Amino acid sequence: MSGEPKLIRGWATAEGTGRFAARFAGSLPGHFAETHGLRLSSIGLGTYLGDPTAECDALYTEAIERAVELGVNVVDSAVNYRHQRSERSVGRSLARLIAEGKARRDEILLATKGGFLTFDGEEPADPGAYFEETLVKTGLVRPEEVVAGCHVMSPRYLENQIEASRSNLGVETIDLYYLHNPETQLAEVTRQEFFRRLKAAFEALEKAVATERIRAYGTATWNAYRAGLEARDAVSLADVLRAAEEVAGKSHHFRAVQLPFNLAMPEALAAKTQRLGPECMPFLHAARAQGLMVFSSASLLQGRLAADLPDGIREKLRGLATDAQRSIQFVRSTPGITTALVGMSRREHVEENLATARVPRLTQEEYRGIFS
């Protein structure tokens, strides 16, 4: 419709992300690395935390712009974060950065997620009635598709959420679209039904790739890949990739995984939660063997690792001024981690955290020394 805002065309490209990285070649040593043909920053900005208020919207908009100015070209969100307001803050920031000539669309990787039910801007007085009117009565969601009262990954719902995210972000194409915490489904459905639903979701996501609404997809998880092999919500990466291959063959577009990883939650590196053939191994080893991008969420564990680190850890993470920087340095130096995502809604936090990128990542010897 003519009255609707025009969406920004394009997506992150090798040329664009290379151009972006080149601007920081002298000031941020080793901050960018190539993966899947893209040059991506070792630190990315997350948009999970914060109240659904205009004040927080404005803080996020400023924080995102400042992060890009300081060398971040990975921005992560989700349609349900702050009732869609985080995505809209990202959209405003991107539009302003492009209008002011500070960035181009092909320089920035935009990632977002769908799967949880969400409100539109603010929580209604009667959430149950809201979902009944907007989802069930419209035919968008069938009651039996809802798990735990909050999670849906049916094709029709995901298609709707992709359109909402494109509008919120103000872009024609989303670079990376995650199925958000799919393991939530395992609270109520069998594994056989879970993988049936997963394959149906992947079919919808492959269709979105074919129509250039997204470029690639993956799974953003919390427990799925960290939990012990016998846990109810444990998920095998090999089985997930097999589902993608059954849907679209070896040319499928499953490219990335997001999961928590930090000094207090090292399971992705330390726990043998995945089977690859006859061998059990940590998730990061399995993901690397499959050529996947891995984005760490909760790099600061919602701020709990921004202070009061043990003296022994501080001693081994030298050259940095704050515990937040030390915690980020640990994550971004971990072999197999593409980008350490850090929630940053304030300019001062952006400037503190991005100072980490002025220090080279740890060498393999230095990294191993943390555990000795």
Q: What value does the CA radius of gyration of the chain take, rounded to a whole number of Å? A: 20
Write the CB contacts of 123 (distance below 8 Å, at least 6 apart in sequence): 52, 83
pLDDT at 235: 97
Q: For the segment 235-283, what is each residue's pLDDT rounded down to a tens digit? A: 999 999 999 999 999 999 999 999 999 999 999 999 999 998 889 999 9
CA terminus-to-terminus distance, the chain: 62
Q: Which of 158, 122, 168 is nearest to 5 (CA)?
A: 168
Task: With CA atoms as reference, report the closest residue to 255 among 294, 218, 201, 207.
Answer: 218
Question: What pTM was computed for the model?
Answer: 0.96
pLDDT of residue 1: 43
Nearest to 24 by CA among 83, 68, 84: 68
**Which residues in the chain land under pLDDT 50?**
1-2
* Amino acid at residue number 193: E
pLDDT score, position 372: 80
> Which pair of structure tokens corresponds to residue 266?
């090292």
Which of 169, 242, 245, 253 minimizes the C-alpha distance to 208? 253
Distance of CA 246 to the CA centre of its chain: 24
Task: State the Cα–Cα distance between residues 150 and 170, nearest whole angstrom.
Answer: 26
Q: So what's the architecture of 14-369 in CATH? A: Alpha-Beta Barrel (3.20)
DSSP conformation class of 32: E
Please report, for residues 102, 116, 182, 316, the alpha-carbon distance to residue 257 in angstroms, rounded to integers and kept in the order given.
Answer: 29, 17, 12, 29
